[in-house]
Structures are given as C-alpha cells and as structure tokens.
Structure 1
Amino acid sequence: MSYKIVFFDIDGTLVNEAKEIPADTIKAINELKDKGIEPVIATGRAPYFIKPLAETLGIESYVCMNGAYVVYKGQPLYKREIGKDALEMLVALAAQNDHSLVFEGEHQYFTDRDNHPFVTESVQSLKIELPGFDPEFWRGNEIFQVFLHCEGRDEHLYESLKSEFTLIRWHPQAMDVLPLGGSKAQGIAALLDKLGYVADDAAAFGDGLNDKEMLEYVGFGVAMGNSHPELLPFANFVTTHVDEKGIRNGLIEAGLLTV
C-alpha cells in the first residue's frame, strides 16, 4: 500500500520529553515531503500552541484540539464547537467539585481560576504560555476543547457528563474534555474527505490515549516505542522510542522511506 498522507501527533511523537524535535525526525519529514507525501500534524494542542514546531517542519496543515479544529494549507477546514448547554453543565459541576477549567477557543484560551497549581503544572509541562484569566470566556466564544483539572481519583465525579462529552486524561492533574464522540479520527476524516482520500490512503503516528481512534482509523497506525501501553493494541506496528529514530523506523515499516 502506498500511503498519500501521514498524520503525526506532537508530544511523545514529533517531540521528546524535553519538547525538542530530534534531528532525525526533521530529516525524515523532509524526505517524506520530497517524495510527495503530505505530513499533517494531529494533536490535542490548540493551533496557537504549535506554530513554531509547524514552521520548523514546514507543515501547513493540522488537526488540532483532538479533531475539533482542522486547518488545511493555512485555511480552516472543519470546526466542531462544544454546545453552550453542555458547557454550562460542565462549569456548574466543576465549580461544585472545586476543580479548575481552561477553555480553548479558536485563537486564545483562558482559565476560570487564576494561578491554580494544577493549571500551572499541567500547562507548563507542555512548555507553552499559561492561559489568561477570564471565567466567562466560554459564554461569548466558540469553545472547541476544555481542560478539566482534577486527579484520577476524582474522575468518577463527572460520570454524569459522559452523555455530553468525551473525557481523556493527558496529565496526572488534567483531562481533555471534547464534544461527545470527538477524536482525532473525526478531524482526519473531514480532511481526507476534502482531499478525496479514504482512510486506507493514510498512515498515522501517536503515543497517547487520545491517539487510539486515529491509529485504528487509518490504513497504517504506528505507536511510538514510548507509547502508553493501552495504545499498543490499536497499532499495526510499534516503532522505536521518539529519541531512537522512532519516526524514521515507522516510516520505513510503512514502506514510505528506505533505510
């Protein structure tokens, strides 16, 4: 199978724990483009978090906020915002449980708790700028994803919202809150449809729990050697660690690069 397009997660896939892109990954992406195969970023991050990385790799297309916001060649292609009624339920329950939220819009993001330690710790782990403070930001803006800051032992407090949202943990103190059924696969499907491709035309690389649907959906799914163990059953191939030529070795296995 000759794949036409390849989707790459960022954290733990394109970048290592230090949030650096390994030199061999940059070389592999450039070789992929030279062969006429399009690389696309597929991330839980918002678009304003990925610009320096996208520029370094020369990538203009991305599936952001776990599939809720898609850009192709610099132009927005697909948006799926969270409904205001559902957000109101989330805000009320988080306040009742004394948990902080971060609301991600199209161009900026804000928290409802100023200087909350869980917000600071989780966001700083991404090595990005901390959110502004505006508890009412969600009311007047399109919101595509929310960070819910709570520990694993408190997840059960949000069982009642699982008919409204998809929740995925990405940090010991934070979960992504997505529109119900939202995933990277959903955003990828919208992009492939625009290009006239089918899922079998695509390959994808990931390492986290939010990559399950993506790896299962595409024609060839690659889990990084540093992946969460629960991701591995969804992959066609498990490559090496991000710092051990993981991207190159996965692309070789997919038949897209040579040794």
Structure 2
Amino acid sequence: MPTSNQTQSLGKTNPITIPIPTPKIIFFDIDDTLSRNGEIAPQNKATLEALAKTDIKLVISTGRSKPILPLDIIALLEADVLDAIICMNGQYSFDNKRVISDYPLSSEQTTTIAELCKNSNLVYKFDSATHIVWSDEHEWQNTYHDKIKSCSMIDPEYCHFNTVYQCSVFFDNQDQKMQDIDFIKHELKLVHWHDIVGDILPIDASKARGILDVCAHFDIDASDCMAFGDGLNDLEMFDLVGYAVAMGDAKPELKEKADFITGTIEEYGIQAVLNPFHLV
C-alpha cells in the first residue's frame, strides 16, 4: 500500500497510476463524495451500478441518521446495488434484511448531552432509527425536504423515552463550538461535519466501528477494504481500511491520512480511482 507521502491528485483525465489490489469492499461517504447537495452524481450512480455486477461489496458509510438518508441512496439499497448502509457515524448499520449492528445511547448519555447543550444555550436534535427530534425550532429544519419533514418533530423529552443513537448540535456562529467543554470527561466527543454543526457521540463511536461490524458480517478483513471520504468524521475510517481515498475537496486533515487523493465529484474523482480496475 502506498504511504501518505505517495498521494497524488487525480481527476477525470488523470487516472490513478499506482497499482493496488482490487478491494473486497468499498465504503463510500455520501455528501460531497457520492452526492452534491443531496443528490448522487449521475456518473457515481452509474459506477455503483457497474460495480454491483462484480463480487465487490458496496457499502455507504455516513454520518447521516437513517431517517434523512437520501431517497436515491435508499433506492440503490432496495435495488441490491448497495449491500449495506452504515449511518449515524457507525452507530447503526443495516442491509435489506436486517440490522447488522446498533449502539443506542444510554439514558445517562442522553441526559448528559442534553444538559451540555442546554447549558450552552444551543439547539440540538437527537436521531432515532425513525425520527429526528429537535429541542426547539431552528432554521436548519428548513433544509430537509417535505418527505423527510414528516420524520421531524420538536420534543425535548423524546430522548428520555425513546431509543436514540446520536445528537447533532447547531452553533450560532463558527466561534461558538463548545470549546470549553471537556467531552472526554463524559466519555463523549464532538465531531464537526459542518462549520456550524457537529455530532455529539460516545467516545468509541465512529464509522470505523461500523465498518468492522459490516466486515464481520461479510467475513472480510478491513485490510481488504477501500474507502472514499471527504470529512472529519472519516478520519477513523481512513485509519482502519487498507486503501483510503480522499476527495479533491476533502478536509486537509483527512488528506494527510489518505493513501490517495483523487479529484472532486465534478472531476470524476471516484472514476479516476476505479477505472483502472476495468470495472467501470
């Protein structure tokens, strides 16, 4: 496997030149990796459909909660193009037939998280397998389209009586990021996926844990996996898999961990890596 100092920028007209073994599973982040503005890029959809005809397993690995997974991604799972989905930063993994693994927050964890957000005067939401539940009204609610809004509600007490998996907290500005809170003391962590939004999770939660669960499900070693990503919640995933590919517009911290740096969605970055397998 190439080392991090052997990374290169790749694009539609500059396919990868470093030989690598064909992976047994490929994990894909959704937003700004497969999809832009909530819709999968046509070339990426075509690539997934072509790969589905091979023996390579195809799995989504996202921070999104299950209720707000894009409909086009769900359709690919239902069509057996995708083999499984890891969502909520590894807290919940499933395929077309069953839940592969799930890690609900404990009542103590939900109480602590809610108190930390309230003490910081911040709006937050908890994610269950069926709903996204807000502590109060927030402008981010308007970012979800009409069908998803049916899964959204305001109920600050929901987390105390229902199974939830992660919390998202919404900041008023980029400087207000709960910097003074010692999350480790509470065995929690804050992971940013937007300049003014972050997820609060158990300290051992990560996409990597979900990947290990899915790999065990398919009896495949993580060293035989490839992953594509762009954000800070992909860091643990990149540490785990055998071949880590950062998108061209990925966070600098992620590019440092990547084995390959490819192009953006618009530069056909995924195709630049996968075309040499003569699969797409």
Verify same fold: TM over 0.5: yes
Deviation at 1:120, TM superposition (A): 3.3
RMSD after superposition: 2.1
Deviations 1:16-41 (Å, cap 9, x if unpaired)? 2x322222111111121112211111
2:51, 2:124 → 1: CA distance?
39
2:52/2:58 contact within 8 Å kept:
yes
1:184, 1:249 → 2: CA distance?
24
2:211, 2:63 → 1: CA distance?
13
Deviation at 1:176, TM superposition (A): 0.8
The unaligned stretches of length 5 or more in structure 2 are: 1-20
Q: 2:73 aligns with which of 43, 54, 59?
A: 54
Q: 2:177 aligns with which of 155, 174, 185?
A: 155
| SS of aligned partner of 1:190 | helix
Deviation at 1:124, TM superposition (A): 4.5
Verify: 1:174 aligned to 2:197, yes or no: yes
Deviation at 1:149, TM superposition (A): 1.4
Q: 1:14 aligns with which of 23, 27, 34?
A: 34
Partner AA of 1:3 in structure 2: P
Deviations 1:99-129 (Å, cap 9, x if unpaired)? 111010111111011x223x336x549x953
Partner AA of 1:250 in structure 2: V
2:38/2:70 contact within 8 Å kept:
no
Aligned partner of 1:24 in structure 2 is: 43
Aligned partner of 2:232 in structure 1 is: 209
| SS of aligned partner of 1:34 | coil
1:12, 1:51 → 2: CA distance?
13
Aligned partner of 1:36 in structure 2 is: 55
2:61, 2:50 → 1: CA distance?
19
- Percent sequence identity is 30
Partner AA of 2:57 in structure 1: E
Distance of aligned partners of 1:225 and 1:173 in 2 relative to their CA distance in 1, 3 Å threshold: same
2:189, 2:278 → 1: CA distance?
36
Deviation at 1:157, TM superposition (A): 4.7
Partner AA of 2:152 in structure 1: P
Deviation at 1:156, TM superposition (A): 3.9
The unaligned stretches of length 5 or more in structure 1 are: none
Higher relative contact order (CA 8 A, sep 6+): 2
Aligned partner of 2:256 in structure 1 is: 233
Aligned partner of 1:131 in structure 2 is: 152
